[in-house]
Structure 1
Amino acid sequence: MKRPNTVILVSIFAFLFAGAAAWLTYSYLQQEVSSVKAVQPQKLVVARADIPIGTTLAASQLKVTSWPKDSIPPGSADAPEQLVGRVVIRPITRGDAVTDQKLKPKAGTPGAGFMTYVVPQGHRAVTVAVNEVAGVAGFLTPNDRVDVIVTMQLPDNEKESVSKIILENVPILATGQITDQKEGKPVVVPTVTLDLLPTDAEKLVLSASKGSLQMLLRNIADSGQVGSQGATISKVLTGVERPLVSKAPEAKAAQPRPAPAKGGVKGVVKGGVIVKAAAPVILYTLEIVKGAEKVTWQYPY
């Protein structure tokens, strides 16, 4: 190989290696620049304090903080003005980023309803009308938990009423008001929207149509079961519990044929002798417990 050709070939290889080295160096520097930019703090709007569901955001509830760019959540904002006036549909704790996923969609967008974002999957939101007393004098607020009690007539005894807890530890989704007509004039009726399973929703709707409802506000830490059997007037006045629903009459066994007796006395024939039938005696049983001592009393009906 002649010397000029050798020089040309070496020069070509030198240029190729130099180009490859330059390209690798450029790529490495670009990656380093991207890494530096990724960790550089960016502006992000977070909650200044805990924000509950249903809150309309105000500027005083938000603040701007620094956040690594590569970990900024999607749907976040960099200025409080972008979020003021939006409604919170997910609880936001202090220091959390305020994102679109935690806020009600803007007006005009599909699915902009508020309640549909609050109802848990598999549950139903049921709204019932209550009066001021039944609504615990207006002290019910979203996220409170209540027991629901219904007062209605017994199915087999229209003269006897019963009060019974039908639902326990039910979360409140919202409270509000509706306009109703009374004597031709509009009146405002308080309402309570509850979070229920479909089967419990059926119980509530049926009970509301048959009787009156009352809300029993629970302590925030109380989630125990009540297990109440209900209360009737007889039970309240006498302290003796009667079954709420009478049992179906059992089939009677064949009885000896009554035989007529003198003097209008009716009886049954047993062993050839007429025996007067005794009237059944119904007794009430009252148990009194004092420490380890237990006393039982029986009273005729």
Structure 2
Amino acid sequence: MKKLIVIALFVSIITGIAVFQFATSLEKGSRLKTQPVVLATQTIPKGTIIQKEMLKTSEVPIEAVHQLSIGNQDDILGRISKETIEANEQILTSRLSDINQENDNLSYSIEPNYRAVTILVDEEKGVGGYLTKGDRVDLVTVLLTKDGATSQLVVENLEIIKIGPLASGDKGGTYTSVTVSAPAADVTRMNYALAIDPQPRYRLVLRSPVDNDTLGQAPFSP
């Protein structure tokens, strides 16, 4: 009888310890530190503009949070995936186009249905060297025809997305080209205006930053 009592007492002690350890683990689990992390709700192919429905935010244990993860969906929306992102994967900064386009490929700064076109410039063609990134310009040219010469407005309101490179040996910062973002439908027209032989007669015309109107002027002949 005493032996049974001892066994029962021993089992009770073991059970109590197990219950205590289980309760302690639950308590520790409830105090587990987490951090909000943005995950993909679906597979996001490379070269995709990130939309809200592609994202969700979940609380993840801090130990499992990648150092390049993002916690705010607003920091992701509108950016472009540089690699394929799988469903439920933490979205990392290294897999997205950079917010600061200076640190990213030029292609990620071009909007859909636009193309980057580089235009050679000098003091005359490039508004005296006063053009800067973000300026908007019009492209005009003079065309020679059998009836004489006409001055034509080729494309309006082109945004400059790159300046440079600098002229060889120039220490004053003079650039030899600008790269503009042009509507895809206007690229062939621009190419013709920029490549007329024997010498192109184009120039860039600087616009006011608050002027987005298009004039659509007819060609001018003297």
TM over 0.5: same fold?
yes
Matches within 5 A, 1:14-93: 14-29=13-28, 31-32=30-31, 34=33, 74=68
Alignment-derived partner of residue 12 in structure 1: 11
Is contact 2:158-2:182 (8 Å) kept? yes
Q: In structure 2, which of residues 173, 178, 193 is the aligned counterpart of residue 207 of structure 1? A: 193
Asked which structure has the greater RCO (Cα within 8 Å, sep 6+), the reply is 2
Q: CA deviation at 1:149?
A: 0.9
- Alpha-carbon separation, structure 2, partners of 1:138 and 1:225: 24
Q: Please name the residue that 1:127 is paired with.
A: 118
Q: Aligned to 2:179, which of 190, 193, 199? A: 193
How far apart, CA to CA, are the structure 1 residues paired with 2:208 and 2:66? Answer: 38
Instruction: Select the residue among 84, 106, 122 that pairs with 1:115.
Output: 106
Deviations 1:164-217 (A, max 9, x none): 11111111011224769xxxxxxx872111112333221111111124211111
Mapped to 2, the partners of 1:177 and 1:232 lie a distance apart of 35
Q: TM-score, normalized by length of structure 2?
A: 0.59
Query: Distance between the aligned counterparts of 1:142 and 1:72, measured in 2?
Result: 35
| Contact kept? 2:122, 2:129, Cα under 8 Å | no
- For residues 20 and 118 of structure 1, the distance between their equivalents in structure 2, rounded to whole angstroms, comes to 59
CA separation in 1, counterparts of 2:207 and 2:121?
17
Partner in structure 1 of residue 90 of structure 2: none
Alpha-carbon distance, 1:141 to partner: 0.7
TM-score, normalised via structure 1 length: 0.45
Tell me if 1:231 matches 2:217.
Answer: no
Count of residues in correspondence between the two structures: 164
Label 1:130 to 1:74 Cα distance change in 2 as closer, same or farther (>3 A).
same
Q: Distance in 2 between matches of 1:202 and 1:17?
A: 83
What amino acid does structure 2 have at the position aligned with 1:134? K
- What's the CA shift string for 1:230-250, capped at 9, x where partnerless? 2110xxxxxxxxxxxxxxxxx
Letter in 1 for 2:127: V
3-state SS of 1:231 partner:
coil
Give 1:27 deviation, angstroms: 4.0
> 2:173 matched to 1:173?
no
Distance in 2 (CA, whole Å) between partners of 1:177 and 1:222 is 28
Q: CA deviation at 1:143?
A: 1.1
1:163 to 2:151 alignment: yes
Specify every segment of 5 or more residues in structure 1 that has no aligned partner in the other structure, as ranges. 40-68, 77-98, 106-111, 181-187, 234-301
Deviates more, 1:127-136 or 1:17-26: 17-26
Aligned to 2:84: none
Instruction: Give the distance between the partners of 1:196 and 1:170, measured in 2 at CA.
Output: 6
Residue 226 (structure 1) shift:
1.1
1:124 deviation in Å? 2.1
User: What aligned pairs does 1:213-224 form with structure 2 within 5 A after superposition?
Assistant: 213-224=202-213
Identity over aligned pairs, percent: 20
TM-align CA RMSD = 3.6
**1:128 and 1:191 in contact (8 A); partners too:** yes
Does the 8 A contact of 2:118 with 2:177 survive in 1? yes
Higher strand share: 1
1:215-272 deviations in whole A, cap 9, x for unaligned? 1111112111212112110xxxxxxxxxxxxxxxxxxxxxxxxxxxxxxxxxxxxxxx
Deviation at 1:135, TM superposition (A): 0.7
Long gaps (5+) in structure 2: 37-60, 71-92, 169-173
Matched to 1:74, the amino acid is: L
